[in-house]
Structure 1
């Protein structure tokens, strides 16, 4: 007896380890596009064999005519695959972050809510091609090594675990798997609109790079992300050890912290401030706090998002709480003298 189509077999092989190694329920996020639909079919096939309950969620953004009817048709298709429960979640898309950002925020909030309601993790259909686009976006925006390191297969934000089992699968393979199984793919017109940066990367930049560099660009970018991620994970682990060793009730000691390499030192500072609940920490804030260590000229308090601040006093970096009513900073004699 002939086995499944090679593309179908690739998809099933990609999801199998994540199902056999974790018995928690799964909800597949499915838009009806080739990537998420191929993922849904693979999970529907493999989950019962792994003894895992698997359902799906389709989010109706309400941004295109007939979106509600389309979402219901996708839900019927997902139920026919054997997934249960299958949820259709309408959302109200705001304006913050532009059309893409606002739709994404609304979608992820809906998926997180569904996951919480059903005690499930969420499976997302991002592919190797999506990974390559993410790496290019990170490079172009200069948003730091973590963004260039791309997406990871397992990631937890808040109480939600996101599972991306297709990061090693090409977009052509998901489309071939849908064709082989007779699954009707819905192509979102937004995915071809050059008004969106990611669409232009997909349709203009990556094909040009492929032409200039002789092919293999998307796998090379994904491979670069994986190598960088391994290095970043090692640095994060080392920084966590230093933070545990240096932390005291008063804050962080200046001298041993200042002696660390910058890559470790800033990670220790980030971990310390995040652990203290400082929100929306950006590179500019870390640089200002780091200056208290290595570019010390007697500067005063560094104000942070949320209203707290960091000061250097008596050889220690200390975190000051939000000022009540915006009152004056501590008296100068409480502060450490600058380096000579």
Structure 2
């Protein structure tokens, strides 16, 4: 079957546009500030948008919807296909996806093969880190304004439940944001089954990742067992309720993140890597103690990420925070991504009024 050109599809089915396709177009158009009807607006140098596409129903449906806007000339739309090399035949899947995207009219379409760096994290987290690194690098290379991702309401509900199961904080329970940096997620109010409807309506050929049925993965168990069970016991609409909770918490988390970022910018002192020692960030203990716990934990997490690590777990952050009590061990406390934290001990040869005393130190090993 030949890939479908969405503009040709519209002409052939004029007056009979699938309502789910229309709904998805409205979501994308609203987020991008573009109209779905009326006369095309002529843009001399339209901005480039990239769709992160795995070839699955969600991201392929998003790519097809974005292709409609590209056909109107107000934006250019390309795509990035990331080959994680986690399964046999992944290169073939990536190339087939790229060809289908080109058939939709997307340009440029880039396939990026990545190597996973587990670095103390599981395969899903390693794949996510590699994927976002590839998306960001490609966007910078091509000068793209935004990267669009196909996460749905169902993905959001799963994220909230996973955050609850792990005892995570507000940011994790807030799930994914519609806008975060260069990334846009226009389908967060769309159900997963609706992306399948879009693929069927536009005669797309989505790839169904076998890992999405592998119960070895916690997210798959949440998707196929936990949410259906909750729906049967608590009534329909559980996914929508979880997503609504994420939206409410998201506003709180955004505000706290803004406050923490301002505090971090004031407190953090960076030292570059030197010799065999990796990059280092110091934070004044007294100032950290004076912060509200919600801000203190966020400042510590910002330091770990700033050093090139990954977001630490709440448990690890609590262990680092405990160093501020100056009782027991001075550390180090191992955070995620090769980052460790410790405090300058009183019995170390450092003057109490010197630059090292009274500091919490975070360093990433080389």
TM-score, structure 2 as length reference? 0.72
Which residue does 1:215 correspond to in 2?
236
Asked whether 1:151 is paired with 2:164, we answer no
Task: Tell me which protein shows more helix as a share of its residues.
Answer: 1
Q: Aligned match of 1:204 in 212, 220, 225? A: 225
Q: Aligned match of 2:157 in 132, 151, 155? A: 132
Asked whether 1:181 is paired with 2:202, we answer yes
Which residue does 2:143 correspond to in 1?
119
Secondary structure of the 1:200 match is: helix
Check conservation: 2:320, 2:341, Cα contact below 8 A: no
Partner Cα separation in structure 2 for residue 73 and residue 244 of structure 1 = 45
Asked whether 1:192 is paired with 2:223, we answer no
Which residue does 2:277 correspond to in 1?
none
Which residue does 1:263 correspond to in 2?
294
RMSD of aligned C-alpha atoms? 3.6
CA drift of 1:210 comes to 0.5
Asked whether 1:15 is paired with 2:40, we answer no
Secondary structure of the 1:82 match is: coil
Give the direction of change, closer, same or farther, for the CA distance of 1:94–1:300 in structure 2 (3 Å limit): closer
Check conservation: 2:304, 2:310, Cα contact below 8 A: no
Q: Following superposition of structure 1 onto structure 2, how do residues 277-288 of structure 1 map, counting pairs within 5 Å?
A: 282=312, 283=314, 286-287=317-318
Secondary structure of the 1:174 match is: helix
Runs of 4+ in 1 over 6 A off after TM superposition: 243-248, 332-336
Check conservation: 1:246, 1:253, Cα contact below 8 A: no
- Deviations 1:247-280, CA, capped at 9 Å, x for gaps: 99x96583x8656543344445656x56985955
- Deviations 1:104-159, CA, capped at 9 Å, x for gaps: 34333332332222112321111110011111111111132211111112223xxx
Check conservation: 2:82, 2:112, Cα contact below 8 A: yes
Which residue does 2:94 correspond to in 1?
71
Partner Cα separation in structure 2 for residue 60 and residue 279 of structure 1 = 23
Which residue does 1:86 correspond to in 2?
109
Q: Aligned match of 1:330 in 345, 350, 354? A: 350
- Deviations 1:274-329, CA, capped at 9 Å, x for gaps: 69859557456654665576x466x785646657754599xxxxxxxxxxxxx944
Partner Cα separation in structure 2 for residue 201 and residue 221 of structure 1 = 13
Which residue does 1:108 correspond to in 2?
132
Check conservation: 2:77, 2:108, Cα contact below 8 A: yes
Count of residue pairs brought into register by the alignment: 314
- Deviations 1:61-109, CA, capped at 9 Å, x for gaps: 3444443333222222111211101122333446554443343343333
In structure 1, the gaps of 5 or more residues are 314-326
Which residue does 2:249 correspond to in 1?
228
In structure 2, the gaps of 5 or more residues are 1-13, 35-45, 270-281, 359-366
Secondary structure of the 1:236 match is: helix
Check conservation: 1:62, 1:90, Cα contact below 8 A: yes
Which residue does 1:321 correspond to in 2?
none
Stretch moving more, 304-313 or 212-221: 304-313
Secondary structure of the 1:147 match is: helix
